[in-house]
């Protein structure tokens, strides 16, 4: 079964040897085995902290109870801001089920929700039924109201069907279906069960776009046995503006290519293989990437060779397809041999490999060919190839010492110098096409890499030495890094010969200087710095600067700035902070200094009344279509019972690093979407 059910309706505690509740009121009257009490108040025990009243409580046999005109609330009896009133309530702990009729939720003495009939689980198990509605508003869709219905199909599968009404667009039906596969392989490894998920969205006759709109997503993962696993990931939408029109999630709105991929993987004792089929749906006016139909990769690793040698092998055969551009196949074989030499404080690893690649290209005069770079490939042989030897030596050592108190803590400081020499002779690759390769860029992620290009169409020539040093401040009690700083650069002993199309060959003898710092710089103050400095022209090439002040939960201020010369400039400010009397403010401001426009603004307030929380959040964000969209979120959370309205929590956690929930419920809501 699902380890953590998505939808749980529970938390009325079952009977225990000690009384699960206390009955206060008039003396009980016995009639035919039933116990009746009038105007009694029921005080239950954890996990739910709350109180209730009932006109009548009847014990109808073992583990069965009936309550008439019952109320319940997690608010203090003297300040009952909200409560649920149930005309008739049956609790059956034998069947682990509760049923109620004529249930009303009141907030500030005002009815806000009504159930003519309700059924819920008493043991935290999934149960079919309606979930709390959500509602909000966007500038493109108008008022937005949804009523999800959860269907507990079987212990290993469930579904959620959500009618969504948008006043400007119409009725959309959203469906999410989840399943686990009951297979012998699945039962043998419950920690990684075979599972899948299907999401379908359909909006017939969009009143704004005047057409049908739909979206789908399918994910499936399965262990096939004998080392084989299969994965499927399919995504698609009806049109390029689907997410910008109908979604309020930045991660979706910013998508340009939707992945469609199927993979078959084999894991052997010292070798692996992957068969991959990969295409994309490209949205908007973006250039579509190449499709891999198919791609076969293999790798092998042996560390138990004589004299401490280590063998590594990477191999690939991939067929690239594209409706407009040059297509073909690429085969790559890269065997490597290394000799790690290490002590407790010192490590040295020489390594040598042979990188060989061969292409089989289709002719350029096929129908529909309109590659803008086609003229460059005129006269290119159909089977270009290259063979490049690669040699490197990677070495470093670690020194450490005890430091004086660091804000009241005695720490260990390390000094970790590292040197990396790389030699790759130049090979003419100017007539080799580019299918999936780009310039990786110089940074800490690439500083000790063998290739300055990302992808298999270029192997950069190199005769260079990279030097770097890292210092860390470590808490000896936990082993955690409290502060880490790194400085590094690279020296070239030859000029660059191999280039990427449009790239200007490097002639300098040294690279930019890289600096990074991350960790706690003051009590409750955390900083991140990434800096790429060009000493030849005395200018900053890239900068990522961020800071966070978080003295306590529910109090956080973030500020960051990202800069890449001629490419990017962004200011990002966000915060969550108490205002007064239970009020908290939340907000984010993300601005592009290069484009001179706001990327996203979030502003809102939260109010914690002790037994309930109200949240109101407004969001305005840019989209790929360059048409900003505005969304409004309003949520009322009744502690330990339910959440009503559109949930801004995911938005706030994504937008405000360090965001904390301001209320402290004693349990998950009785009626909630997990």
Give the span between the Cα atoms of 119 and 152, in whole angstroms.
13
pLDDT for res 365: 55
CA dist 480 and 472 (Å) reads 10
Structure tokens at 256: 């340009």
Instruction: Please list the residues that pair with 485 across neighbouring strands.
Output: 471, 517
531 vs 443: CA distance, rounded Å: 9
Query: What are the 10-residue block averages of pLDDT along the chain, 674 residues in total?
Result: 31 36 43 40 50 88 90 89 94 89 94 87 82 85 92 92 96 95 66 87 95 96 93 94 76 76 97 97 89 97 95 98 91 98 95 97 61 60 93 97 78 96 96 92 90 96 98 89 95 96 92 96 93 95 96 95 94 97 96 92 95 94 73 90 87 94 67 50
Cis peptide before 72 (omega within 30 of 0): no
> How many alpha carbons lie under 13 Å from residue 150 in its C-beta half-sphere?
23
Write down the pLDDT at residue 120: 82
Question: What share of residues in the chain are helix, strand, coil (percent, to 5)?
Answer: 5, 60, 40
Instruction: Compute CA 359 distance to the chain's CA centroid, rounded to the nearest angstrom.
Output: 37
pLDDT of residue 27: 42
Check: CB of residue 29 under 8 Å from CB of residue 55.
no
Q: Which helix (H) or strand (E) holds 71?
A: strand 64-73
Encoded tokens for 409: 């803590």
Residues linked to residue 389 through DSSP beta bridges, in sequence order: 354
What is the rounded distance in angstroms from the CA atom of residue 549 to the CA atom of residue 519?
A: 12
Q: What is the dihedral of CA 85, 86, 87, 90, to 10 degrees?
A: -160
Asked if residue 47 has a cis previous peptide bond (ω within 30° of 0), the answer is yes
| The predicted structure's pLDDT at residue 671 | 54
Residue with tokens 């029921």: 42
**This prediction's pTM:** 0.83
**CA–CA separation, 444 vs 548, rounded Å?**
22
- The residues, ordered by sequence, that sit 6+ positions from 164 with a Cβ below 8 Å of its Cβ are 144, 145, 146, 171, 172, 173, 174
By three-state DSSP, how is residue 328 classified?
strand
Chain centroid, CA 112 distance in Å: 34
pLDDT at 48: 57
**pLDDT confidence of residue 672:** 54
Q: Which pLDDT score is estimated for 370?
A: 58
Domains of the chain from N-terminus onward:
7-127 (2.60.450), 557-674 (no CATH)
Please tell me the predicted confidence (pLDDT) of residue 32: 39
Answer whether 145's CB lies under 8 Å from 164's CB: yes
If you count them, how many residues does the chain have?
674
């Amino acid at each position: 079964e699902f380890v953590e059910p998505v939808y749980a309706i529970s938390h009325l505690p079952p009977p225990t040897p000690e009384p699960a509740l206390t009955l206060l009121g008039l003396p009980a009257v016995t009639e035919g085995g039933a116990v009746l009490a009038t105007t009694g108040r029921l005080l239950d025990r954890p996990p739910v902290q709350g109180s209730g009243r009932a006109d009548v409580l009847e014990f109808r046999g073992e583990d069965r109870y009936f309550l008439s005109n019952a109320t319940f609330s997690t608010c203090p009896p003297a300040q009952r801001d909200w409560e649920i009133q149930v005309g008739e309530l049956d609790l059956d702990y034998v069947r682990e089920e509760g049923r109620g009729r004529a249930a009303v939720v009141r907030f500030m003495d005002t009815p806000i929700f009504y159930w003519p009939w309700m059924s819920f689980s008493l043991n935290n198990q999934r149960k079919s039924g309606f979930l709390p509605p959500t509602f909000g508003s966007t500038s493109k869709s108008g008022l937005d109201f949804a009523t999800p219905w959860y269907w507990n199909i079987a212990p290993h599968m469930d579904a959620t069907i959500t009618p969504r009404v948008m006043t400007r667009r119409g009725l959309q039906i959203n469906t999410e279906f989840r399943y686990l596969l009951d297979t012998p392989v699945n039962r043998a490894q419950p920690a990684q069960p075979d599972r899948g998920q299907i999401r379908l969205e359909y909006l017939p006759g969009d009143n704004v776009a005047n057409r049908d709109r739909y979206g789908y997503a399918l994910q499936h993962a399965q262990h096939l046995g004998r080392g084989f696993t299969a994965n499927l990931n399919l995504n698609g939408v009806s049109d390029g503006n689907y997410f910008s029109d109908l979604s309020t999630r930045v991660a979706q709105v910013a998508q340009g290519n939707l992945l469609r991929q199927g993979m078959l993987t084999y894991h052997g004792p010292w070798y692996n293989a992957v068969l991959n089929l990969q295409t994309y749906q490209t949205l908007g006016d973006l250039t579509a990437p190449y499709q891999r139909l198919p791609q076969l990769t293999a790798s092998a690793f042996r560390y138990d060779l004589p004299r401490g040698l280590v063998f590594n092998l990477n191999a690939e055969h991939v067929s690239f397809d594209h409706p407009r551009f040059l297509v073909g196949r690429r085969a790559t074989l890269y065997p490597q041999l290394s000799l790690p030499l290490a002590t407790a404080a010192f490590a040295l690893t020489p390594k040598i490999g042979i990188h060989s690649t061969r292409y089989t290209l289709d002719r350029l005069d096929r129908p529909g060919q309109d590659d803008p770079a086609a003229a460059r490939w005129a006269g290119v042989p159909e089977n270009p190839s290259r063979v490049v030897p690669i040699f490197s030596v990677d070495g470093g050592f670690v020194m450490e010492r005890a430091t004086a108190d660091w804000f009241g803590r005695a720490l260990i400081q390390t000094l970790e110098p590292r040197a990396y020499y790389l030699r790759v002779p130049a090979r003419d690759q100017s007539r080799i096409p580019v299918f999936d390769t780009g310039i990786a860029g110089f940074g800490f992620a690439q500083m000790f890499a063998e290739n300055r290009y990302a992808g298999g169409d270029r192997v950069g020539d190199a005769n260079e030495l990279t030097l770097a040093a890292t210092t860390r401040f470590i808490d000896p009690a936990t082993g955690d890094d409290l502060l880490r700083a790194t400085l590094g650069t690279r020296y070239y002993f030859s000029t660059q010969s191999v280039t990427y199309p449009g790239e200007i060959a490097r002639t300098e003898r040294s690279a930019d200087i890289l600096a990074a710092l991350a960790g706690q710089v003051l009590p409750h103050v955390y900083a991140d710095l990434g800096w790429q400095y060009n000493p030849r022209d005395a200018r900053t090439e890239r900068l990522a600067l961020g800071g966070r002040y978080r003295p306590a939960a529910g109090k956080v201020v973030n500020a960051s700035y990202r800069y890449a010369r001629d490419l990017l400039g962004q200011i990002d400010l966000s915060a969550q902070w108490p205002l007064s009397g239970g009020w908290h403010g939340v907000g984010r401001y993300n601005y592009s200094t290069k484009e001179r426009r706001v990327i996203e603004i979030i502003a809102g307030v939260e109010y914690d009344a002790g037994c309930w929380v109200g949240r109101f959040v407004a969001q305005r964000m840019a989209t790929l279509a360059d048409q900003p969209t505005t969304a409004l979120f309003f949520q009322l959370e009744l502690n330990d019972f339910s959440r009503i309205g559109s949930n801004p929590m995911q938005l706030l956690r994504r937008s405000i690093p360090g965001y904390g929930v301001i209320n402290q419920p004693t349990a998950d809501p009785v009626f909630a979407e997990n």
